[in-house]
């Protein structure tokens, strides 16, 4: 059975199904298609499936020509999990959010595997890519496949290979990012290496699925803790009248022992604000209190409120209150040069501003409209960034520093700027650094 599946992978006759066609699943599906595999995309979002069927895109960096090219090569999107029976390999790329109590929410993973289970058959590879705590593959995926009479490592091959997408980073497309792989058995690892090795430049096998799950969490905890340190340094430097961005840039000239991390108005994206809490939750089951992780989470989560304080102080210094002030938020995506709104601190800032009575507008070259209402008083459509718009505002908040913004236009026309991203290193009379 293993040899038959390896043969299909090697001669590209294997059908690859990708479950979840979001920021992780869609690029993976496109990459497998470009490598000669017939690819089936499965997603519960009917509109997303329909858009792909028309050759349209809902993630800006994966443009229409790339979608159309995949369609010509046989790529097909569907909402039917029953079609998974035709797949030889199934990659699960579904969300793993937090509950309101900030505990892991595996409902999407469980729902996906449960929906797939009636259609699984012997000879398939099942790989989970969703970021999660150590033990998820062993505790959630393997039992559900074995309940169908499919023994992991014998009838089916089960792996965990965490996604490592970095939206907006043109230097590292999907195929250029090394892939970590852990398998339920050595045979599972062998099949997983063959599949991912056919599409990814470098695949690194580790000793178990639990190890692979921990690798991904360590990567994101590392960033969360260091960004928390940078945010705390920002608050200290602000009190001392020092520009933290100048400090970090100077420290980064050291050629060893220092890696720059940058402060901001909070953490965004699906990974860093969420994944560390998966490890903190699991660690409690082993009697370990993850103090670094939880402290960094507290600091990072508090940054939007700290920025709000800087906004209020800036307006007060000009004889205005937040209530009734016109505030333009520049950039609502969670990071520069992308259209990704997941966990964006800009949305939280817009909500806080609206609650304080500000008249909020936003401009983002990558997000012409919000996909959901942040607050009743917040518009869902963005504004074109013009000199007239800038002059009409009491305050301009730089929440995300897209390269497409004309910062000279902003500096010359805005009455008051609150800069959370360190765009303006040189002192300017109308700029407040936050």
Number of domains the chain is built from: 2
Top-confidence residue, 376 or 4: 4
CATH number at residue 355: 3.40.50.720
The 10s digit of each residue's pLDDT in 10-58 is: 999 999 999 999 999 999 999 999 999 999 999 999 999 999 999 999 9
Top-confidence residue, 268 or 316: 316
**Is 285 contained in some domain?**
no
Q: Are 104 and 285 in contact (CB under 8 A)?
A: no
Q: Domain span at residue 383?
A: 303-433
What's the rounded mean pLDDT across residues 335-348? 92
Q: What pLDDT does residue 55 have?
A: 96
**Residue 154, CA atoms < 13 Å, CB-side half-sphere:** 4
**Is 222 contained in some domain?**
no
What's the rounded mean pLDDT across residues 353-372? 90
**Is 390 contained in some domain?**
yes
Q: Is the pLDDT of residue 374 over 80?
A: no
Distance (Å, rounded) from C-alpha 122 to C-alpha 295?
Answer: 46
Q: What pLDDT does residue 376 have?
A: 60
Whether residue 57 sits in one domain with residue 168: yes
Confidence of residue 270 (pLDDT cuts 50, 70, 90): confident
| Closest by Cα among 181, 176, 171 to 206 | 181
Distance (Å, rounded) from C-alpha 300 to C-alpha 274?
Answer: 11
Q: Is the pLDDT of residue 349 over 60?
A: yes
What's the rounded mean pLDDT across residues 142-146? 96
Q: Is the pLDDT of residue 157 over 90?
A: yes
Q: What pLDDT does residue 364 have?
A: 96
In this structure, the number of other CB atoms found within 10 A of the CB of residue 213 comes to 28
Q: What pLDDT does residue 248 have?
A: 97
Q: Please, what is the average pLDDT of the chain?
A: 95
Whether residue 26 sits in one domain with residue 173: yes
What's the rounded mean pLDDT across residues 172-191? 97
Q: Give CA torsion, residues 234, 238, 240, 243, to 10 deg.
A: 70
**Is 296 contained in some domain?**
no
Which of these three, 189, 207, 225, is where a domain ends?
207
Whether residue 314 sits in one domain with residue 180: no
What's the rounded mean pLDDT across residues 349-353? 94
The answer to whether the predicted template modeling score (pTM) of the entire model surpasses 0.85 is yes
Top-confidence residue, 339 or 391: 391
Q: What pLDDT does residue 60 have?
A: 83
Whether residue 181 sits in one domain with residue 329: no
**Is 378 contained in some domain?**
yes
**Is 252 contained in some domain?**
no
Confidence of residue 1 (pLDDT cuts 50, 70, 90): very high
The 10s digit of each residue's pLDDT in 401-413 is: 999 999 999 999 9
What's the rounded mean pLDDT across residues 113-141? 97
Q: Is the pLDDT of residue 246 over 70?
A: yes
% residues pLDDT > 70 (the chain): 98
Distance (Å, rounded) from C-alpha 358 to C-alpha 377?
Answer: 9
Q: Is the pLDDT of residue 267 over 70?
A: yes
Q: Is the pLDDT of residue 420 over 60?
A: yes
Whether residue 308 sits in one domain with residue 200: no
Top-confidence residue, 165 or 73: 73
**Is 15 contained in some domain?**
yes
**Is 274 contained in some domain?**
no
93, 188, 237, 271: which one is catalytic? 271
The 10s digit of each residue's pLDDT in 291-328 is: 999 999 999 999 999 999 999 999 999 999 999 999 99
Which of these three, 207, 226, 252, is where a domain ends?
207
Which of these three, 207, 229, 246, is where a domain ends?
207
Q: What pLDDT does residue 314 have?
A: 97
Based on the residue annotation, tell me whether 188 is a catalytic residue of this protein.
Answer: no
Whether residue 318 sits in one domain with residue 199: no
């Amino acid at each position: 059975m293993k040899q038959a599946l390896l043969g299909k992978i090697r001669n590209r006759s294997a059908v690859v199904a990708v479950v979840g066609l979001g920021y992780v699943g869609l690029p993976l599906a496109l990459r497998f298609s470009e490598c000669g595999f017939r690819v089936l995309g499965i997603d519960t979002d009917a509109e997303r499936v329909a858009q792909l069927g028309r050759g349209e895109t809902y993630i800006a960096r994966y443009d229409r020509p790339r979608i159309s090219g995949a369609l010509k090569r046989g790529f097909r999107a569907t909402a039917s999990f029953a079609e998974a029976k035709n797949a030889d390999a199934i990659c699960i790329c579904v969300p793993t959010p937090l509950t309101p109590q900030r505990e892991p929410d595996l409902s999407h993973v469980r729902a996906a595997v449960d929906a797939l289970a009636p259609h699984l058959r012997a000879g398939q590879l099942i790989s989970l890519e969703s970021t999660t705590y150590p033990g998820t593959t062993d505790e959630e995926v393997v039992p559900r496949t074995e309940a169908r009479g499919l023994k992991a490592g014998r009838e089916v091959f089960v792996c965990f290979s965490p996604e490592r997408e970095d939206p907006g980073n043109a230097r590292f497309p999907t195929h250029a990012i090394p892939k970590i792989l852990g398998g339920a058995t050595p045979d599972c690892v062998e099949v997983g290496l063959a599949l991912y090795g056919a599409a990814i430049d470098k695949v690194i096998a580790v000793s178990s699925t639990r190890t692979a799950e921990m690798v991904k969490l360590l990567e994101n905890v590392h960033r969360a803790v260091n960004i928390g340190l940078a945010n705390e340094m920002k608050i200290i430097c602000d009190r001392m009248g020092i520009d933290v961005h100048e400090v970090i840039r100077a420290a980064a000239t050291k050629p060893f022992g220092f890696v720059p991390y940058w402060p901001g108005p909070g953490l965004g994206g699906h990974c860093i604000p969420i994944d560390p809490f998966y490890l903190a939750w699991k660690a409690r089951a082993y009697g370990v209190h993850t103090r670094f992780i939880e402290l960094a989470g507290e600091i990072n989560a508090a940054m939007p409120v700290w920025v709000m304080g800087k906004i209020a102080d800036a307006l007060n210094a000009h004889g205005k209150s937040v209530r009734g002030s016109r505030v333009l938020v520049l950039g609502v995506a969670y990071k520069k040069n992308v259209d990704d709104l997941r966990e964006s601190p800009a949305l939280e800032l817009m909500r806080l501003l609206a609650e304080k009575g500000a008249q909020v507008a936003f401009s983002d070259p990558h997000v012409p409209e919000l996909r959901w209402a942040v607050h009743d008083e917040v518009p869902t459509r963005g504004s074109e960034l013009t000199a007239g718009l800038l002059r009409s505002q009491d305050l301009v908040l730089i929440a995300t520093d897209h390269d497409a913004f004309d910062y000279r236009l902003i500096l010359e026309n805005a009455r008051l700027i609150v800069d959370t991203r360190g765009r303006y290193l040189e002192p300017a009379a109308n700029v407040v650094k936050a």
